[in-house]
A and B are shown apart, each in its own frame.
Chain A
């Protein structure tokens, strides 16, 4: 069976740390960073990048359009 691997890139300066992408992710890939961006928001980041399947659920629900999603079949 073809395996799908994905990756997300978060625009950390645009992210407001609302946590909705973390909730939406079916594979528990994302968490909020303990570090904050220049505005003081704990931006979202990939904690378990190996589990990402590139479904883009995080990007669909992101209110600030700060997630870019990539997907590849391996």
Chain B
């Protein structure tokens, strides 16, 4: 059977979800954002809630998420996504509301909003992309930057006396009574992509069941910020990020 005979709609096993539009994404080649966007699109498609979903776009690289997924979006000011999501969900409780935030957004400027939204147990899902760096603004050190990790504002590596410790905010959020599901995943291989998809779906379902706040941290790469190829970034992440941010469920009620 030739390749052209196999390429037939009857034999289709995987295609881009229709929730994701054809606009080319501005992310760097190999960026984890694209994979997570795709997963969110697929879940929304599977759940049949495209007309009923409101995403909160963050500040940072993923600010343009609203250009790529055909759902309703609001764009929040720096770090304020959980606060905006709170308002949207309380005014329109029948909608699926999620925020999509990076580590500079969620763990630095938006720490207060994140912690208080989680503590109040708002029925929202928070997708947290943690690549240990401020990607969009030029690779500056973030709260989640690892010990000894080089960034443009810590060229000799992060040191405890000068910069303090990496902030494991997901662990912190798991301690709050308002959260119902806190998990950490990664999308560096096929198994990781499948697990992350399952985790985000569960977070979305929890929010619709009114169980409280769900947080899905996705440990991600920033090949431009880390100055590595996408493939080497994945290896670097497995070697260095996973020991500091181990994958798995931190809380599941």
A residues contacting B by CB (< 8 A) are 5-7, 9, 11, 13-14, 16-20, 23-24, 41, 46, 49, 54, 56-57, 59-72, 74
Contact = CB atoms under 8 A, between A and B. Distances in A.
A73 to B, nearest CB: 9
Contacts of B31: 63
Contact of B3 (A16, A46, A67, A71): A46
Given A16-B30, A70-B8, A60 B194 contact: yes
* Chief secondary structure at chain A's binding surface: mixed
Contact of A24 (B1, B3, B13, B190): B190
B156 interface: no
B238 interface: no
Given A19-B229, A20-B231, A72 B6 contact: yes
Contacts of B35: 61-63
Given A6-B6, A61-B189, A20 B30 contact: yes
Given A20-B230, A65-B17, A68-B14, 14 more contacts: A17-B29, A19-B229, A19-B230, A20-B30, A20-B231, A23-B231, A60-B14, A60-B190, A60-B193, A61-B193, A65-B20, A65-B38, A65-B41, A74-B1
B135 to A, nearest CB: 14
Interface in B1-55: 1, 3, 5-8, 11-17, 20, 22, 24-25, 27-35, 38, 41
Interface in B148-197: 187-190, 193-194
Contacts of A69: 12-15
Interface string B202-229: 0000000000000000000000000001
A59 to B, nearest CB: 4
A74 B31 CA distance: 36
A74 B127 CA distance: 42
Interface of B: 1, 3, 5-8, 11-17, 20, 22, 24-25, 27-35, 38, 41, 187-190, 193-194, 229-231, 234
A1 B197 CA distance: 32
A9 B3 CA distance: 10
Contact of B29 (A7, A16, A23, A74): A16
Given A7-B7, A70-B11, A71-B13, A63 B229 contact: no
A63 B8 CA distance: 24
